[in-house]
Amino acid sequence: MNVSTASLNNSFQEEDEMRLGYNHEHIKTFLGKSSIKHLFSYANDTTDAKQLLDRFLVTLSGKFELNLENLLDLFTLSIMMMTYQRDNLLLMKERFMLVDVVCHLADSLDSEEMNYMATGLYANLVTGVGLERLERVLDMHTAIPALVESCSLGNNIAVALLLTIMAQYTRVPVQLDRKEYARKAFEMAKLINWQQLADSGRQADMFMLVRTFSLIINCRRIREECLDWTNNLGAEIHKYFLQVRKAFDHTAAFGSFEMMIERFIAYCVVRGATTTPQLCNYNISELTNSESQKMFDEV
């Protein structure tokens, strides 16, 4: 099922206002089917975002054993909570802290376990088609800075998830060997038929893929780990996506959504490939002892 071009001819601001993130029903439904529902039974009766985040943090500060399925569900929950009641902008510290705590529940994962996490997160978080899928991917993208900044495991899961999104359109298995991820993402981008997506009215998928790719190449840690970056990779990306931007030259309709994609390519991919990466210039706030005690007292 493709989204018609007409349905996409709205401004990005209008589309952003439509995205409401996750609500309490989403959280209840997910937890009810998850392997961690026994840890968060109180979630059914708690709707306030701050109360939920605080209680989740308290629960995860305890001692318990986790298997890989539990860890997958905890990562899913923490990512969903990044946009739970997303209009509450005063809870970013708590949202980032929840992601950070989950990232530190395991020391490391091997490539097979990492693939399990990435494909599982994709299945849990990326649903629907067209605009619905785009909205869910944008919600998931909100958690990427928190994952990257948390620790090595969080960074690896973030990149694996982003590459898994791209792999759905290339049908090429992702090699999660922690090597040259920027180069891998670029090789995958070159396998995508951008012109076909534009001609078939799948601009929502185009934007989802372009934004996913930009998050990968604009992450400082990924660039630092990519030896190819100093060997002209940035210039190659710059040149290639200038051609991708021209995919709209032969389409029948050109509206504000298409213009937004063109500008995103120009500013976040083409220019981003040859400038200093901007993603993750900030640190996750940590609770002070007094804040931690206060949180425990309030729960």
How do residues 203-223 score in pLDDT, each as one tens digit?
Answer: 899 899 999 999 998 887 787
How is residue 266 annotated by DSSP?
A: I
Confidence of residue 276 (pLDDT cuts 50, 70, 90): low
The per-residue pLDDT for range 83-109, each reduced to its tens digit, is 999 888 899 999 999 999 999 999 889
Average pLDDT, the chain: 82
Range of 134's domain? 5-298
Q: Is the pLDDT of residue 82 over 90?
A: yes
Integer Cα distance of 203 and 2 in angstroms? 9
Average pLDDT value for residue range 240-266: 73
**Please, which contacts does 107-112 make with residues 24 or more away whose CB atoms are closer than 8 Å?**
107/153, 108/152, 108/153, 109/153, 109/156, 109/157, 111/176, 111/177
Give, rounded to a whole angstrom, the gap between the first and last alpha carbons of the chain. Answer: 46
**What does the block give as tokens for 203?**
């601009």
Across the strands, what pairs with 219?
279
Q: Is the pLDDT of residue 8 over 50?
A: no
Q: How far is residue 165 from each of residues 89, 119, 178, 203, 249, measured CA to CA in Å? A: 27, 9, 17, 16, 26
Question: Domain count of the chain?
Answer: 1
